Each structure stands twice: as C-alpha cells, then as structure tokens.
C-alpha cells in the first residue's frame, strides 16, 4: 500500500523567532491538518533548554517558557495535535535539550545540517565543500551515538540548502558524501529506530537536481529507515505548498506504508 500522507511532524508557529507570519497560529495549523485529512500533526517551535549551557543569543530566547506559551493546543476530533520542539546541536555535539526535558514533548526534531550557524561549524571546517561534507557525516554520526529516546526523535532536513550558501556548493557537498558512509550511517539510524524527515524545503530544492538531493533518502530507504513528513512551515504559504511536495517525494522514493515512521508513546 502506498505511503499515506496523513501527518506533518515539523511545523513552526509565530512563536519561533524566525517566523514573521502572525497568521501562523496553532489554530491555523490545525485547520491545515483538518483540510488535508491528517490524523496527526506536531508543533515544533525552535527550542534550547535553559538548563543546557551554550545557547546562542538567538536560541537563549527560545527557552521552554517561551515555546510553552502555545499550550494548551487547540483540539480536534479528527486530528491528534502533539506538542513538540526543534532543538539544536552545536559544533561540540552539545544537544540543546536535557534528557529529562524529552518527557515534556510528544516529539523532538533534531537537525544536523544547520551549517549556516556559527554555533554549529567552525570557520576552518566550513571553508570548503569537502570540509562541510565531513562535518555532515560527523554530526549525524555523533547524534546517532547518543543515548536518546530515538522512538520520539526525527532527524530533520538532511538535504537542507543551509548546508552551504551557494547552490553550486550546496550540491557539491551532497555529491561528496561517501556512499559507504551513508550506508553505514543509515544502517545505524534504522537500528536506532529514529525517524528520517522528508522535508518540504528539501524537496523543493531537489528540482533540477533530484538525483543529488534525494540520494541520501534513497540510501536510507534501502538501509531500512522509516520516514515521516515535515513541512518545516514557518508561514501559511509554506503550509499550503506542503502536501504537493510530500506527494512528489512519496512517488519518487516509491514509499509504502511499511516505510512510515510512527512516534513511540
């Protein structure tokens, strides 16, 4: 059976400081889910746990009290609305969430590809596509080596354009990722039971470079990883564009229901 588009586990509201859309409210997000026949969605505003040292000035304002202002989430008879978060991992592999804080969330999104942030990559490592490719590998490897509740964790936007500034360099970084390393990493991810995100923005970036951008996901599927959908929407326009992009990715990867990630309770 074809993978059913029935959820979105990576959505931001205006509470995330990078969202400039006042209409991106929990109520609007729930309406998006109802209109598209989803059974489950998750709010994942940016978050850095105040009990963890090392937050940037930007992230220090995204503490638990800040994002918990979204609670209580609106309810629906048709859609389960989870309260989650998108945290961060710095260049020393310090995770911006304490172990006990995981209990406060239904799902936690962790990106390893926010390489546009000085918090996450050294100037030396970021100087060349080759250096960025090595960091891509080492950050994902480091995350997978952590003792975490992977059944309620998703690894976000592995082919994100923020890997490098110019599109030429972005695609070059993805091309430089060694096949054997990708096979090893995704075999480990499958064993851990973590979710691999199919991100709307990554899918948009694939246009004209499908084989390069989608290669990690093809290898992840072959290694037995499970996938979830994430619009990563910061605006209502991004919400409106999400389902079409999801449908393309499901078809491109020929995903079945057996390839779907389910959050552990």
pLDDT in tens, 45-89: 999 999 999 999 999 999 999 999 999 999 999 999 999 999 999
pLDDT in tens, 145-190: 999 999 999 999 999 999 999 999 999 999 999 999 999 999 999 9
**Closest-CA residue to 2 (of 264, 261, 258, 180):** 258
Residue 12 lies in a domain: yes
Residue 179 lies in a domain: yes
Expressed in percent and rounded to 5, the helix, strand and coil fractions of the chain are 45, 15, 40
Residue 2 lies in a domain: no
Q: Residue ranges of the alpha helices (H) in the chain?
A: 26-35, 57-60, 64-67, 129-144, 167-176, 179-192, 200-205, 210-222, 236-253
Residue 265 has pLDDT above 90, yes or no: no
Q: pTM above 0.75? A: yes
Residue 264 lies in a domain: no
Residue 49 lies in a domain: yes
Structure tokens at 64: 């638990």
The CATH number for 146's domain is: 3.20.20.140
Instruction: Name residue, tokens 């304490």.
Output: 98
Residues 43 and 83: their CA atoms lie apart, in Å, by 5
The count of domains in the chain is 1
Residue 1 lies in a domain: no
Residue 22 lies in a domain: yes
Residue 38 lies in a domain: yes
Please give the pLDDT value at position 257. 98
Residues 64/65/68/71 CA torsion (nearest 10 deg): 160
Please give the pLDDT value at position 127. 95
Give the structural domain span for 190: 7-259
pLDDT in tens, 195-220: 999 999 999 999 999 999 999 999 99
């Amino acid at each position: 059976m074809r993978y059913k588009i029935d959820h979105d586990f990576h959505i931001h509201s205006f509470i995330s400081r990078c969202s400039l859309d006042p209409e991106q409210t929990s109520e609007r997000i729930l309406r998006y889910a109802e209109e598209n026949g989803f059974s489950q969605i998750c709010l994942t505003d940016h978050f850095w746990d105040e009990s963890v040292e090392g937050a940037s000035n930007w992230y220090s304002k995204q503490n638990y009290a800040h994002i918990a202002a979204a609670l209580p989430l609106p309810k629906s008879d048709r859609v389960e609305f989870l309260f989650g978060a998108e945290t961060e991992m710095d260049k020393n592999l310090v995770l911006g969430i304490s172990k006990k804080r995981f209990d406060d969330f239904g799902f936690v999104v962790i990106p390893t590809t926010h390489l546009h942030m000085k918090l996450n990559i050294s100037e030396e490592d970021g100087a060349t596509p080759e250096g960025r490719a090595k960091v891509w590998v080492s950050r994902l490897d480091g995350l997978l080596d952590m003792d975490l509740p992977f059944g309620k964790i998703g690894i976000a936007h592995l082919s994100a354009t923020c890997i490098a500034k110019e599109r030429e360099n972005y695609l070059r970084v993805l091309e430089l990722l060694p096949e054997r390393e990708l096979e090893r990493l995704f075999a480990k991810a499958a064993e851990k039971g973590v979710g691999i995100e199919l991100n709307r923005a990554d899918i948009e970036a694939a246009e004209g470079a499908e084989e390069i951008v989608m290669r990690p996901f093809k290898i992840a599927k072959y290694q037995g990883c499970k996938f979830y959908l994430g619009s990563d929407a910061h605006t209502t326009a991004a919400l409106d564009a999400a389902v079409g992009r999801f449908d393309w990715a499901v078809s491109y990867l020929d995903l079945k229901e057996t390839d779907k990630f389910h959050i552990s309770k």
